[in-house]
Copies of this chain bind each other. A is one copy, B any other.
C-alpha cells in the first residue's frame, strides 16, 4: 500500500491553490489538472509544511506537481468557508489512486485555502502531471471544464484580480520575452482584459507612461514596415503609505 503524506509534516487544515495563467500570443488560458479515474478537474494545490513560508510552499508544490519552476506568484485571496471542503471528493481521489484512507484521515478535514495566481508564457514550459493526476492541461478561460469543489470560484476571483491589477503591476512582464513589439504587448492586454483595444490609443498611452525602452527594429521577413522592439524599464516598488497629508 502506498503512503500518503503524514500529518506530522504539514500544517493541518491549511492548503493552497494556484491559478496559473498562460498566454500563447492570442488566448489566455488556465492550467488545470485531472485526477486519475475520477473525472475531477482541479487547480494545482497542496499543503504547507510546518516551518515553511506559505509562498515557498506554493513554489515547491507547483514545481513538484507540474514541473514549473521559478515563476512569479502572487497571493490574491483566502478561501475560508467551512463548507468549501468536500471529504467525499478527497476520499474518491485518494482511493482512485490506490491509497487506503482512514475514516479520520487529516486530508479529509476541513481546509482553508490560500490562493495564488501567476502569469507565464506557456511556450516556455511543459507542465507534467504528478502521480495523482492523469493530465495537466491548458484551458481557455472561457472554456474551462467543470471544476471540483469551489475551484471555479477561485479561478474567477483570480481572473478578476488579474484584470484589476494588470495596469498597475505590469505582471504581464512574465508573459512576454525580454524584448517585444507594441503589438505583442497589446495582445497581452487584450487577452487578459477580454476585449479589443484601439491600436493608436493603446500605443500612445503606453509610450506616454515612460515605462518602456525602445530598442532596435524587428525584421520578421514580412512585406511591411518593421516594428520597434521594446522592453520594460525596471522600476522599484518603494511607496510611502503612511506619509503625511500630501500638500
Interface residues, chain A, with chain B CB atoms under 8 Å away: 11-14, 48, 50-55, 75, 77-78, 80-83, 110, 112, 114, 141-142, 144, 156, 159-160, 164, 168, 194-196, 239, 241-247
Contact partner of A52 (CB less than 8 A), chosen from B54, B75, B82, B246, is B82
With a cutoff of 8 Å between Cβ atoms, the chain B residues found around residue A53 in the complex are: 80-83
Q: What are 28 inter-chain pairs, A to B, with CB distance below 8 A?
A: A11-B14, A12-B12, A12-B13, A13-B14, A13-B50, A50-B110, A52-B82, A53-B80, A53-B82, A53-B83, A54-B78, A54-B80, A54-B81, A55-B80, A75-B78, A75-B80, A112-B114, A142-B243, A156-B241, A159-B241, A159-B242, A164-B168, A194-B245, A194-B246, A195-B247, A196-B245, A196-B246, A196-B247
Copy number in this complex? 2
CB distance from A22 to the nearest CB of B (A): 16
Looking at the complex, which one of B80, B83, B141, B160 makes contact with A239 (CB distance below 8 Å)? B160
Give CA–CA (A14, B113) in the complex, Å: 12
Known: A141-B242, A196-B245. 19 other contacts (CB 8 A): A11-B14, A12-B13, A13-B14, A48-B112, A51-B110, A52-B82, A54-B80, A54-B81, A55-B80, A75-B80, A78-B78, A156-B241, A156-B242, A159-B241, A160-B241, A164-B168, A194-B243, A194-B244, A195-B246
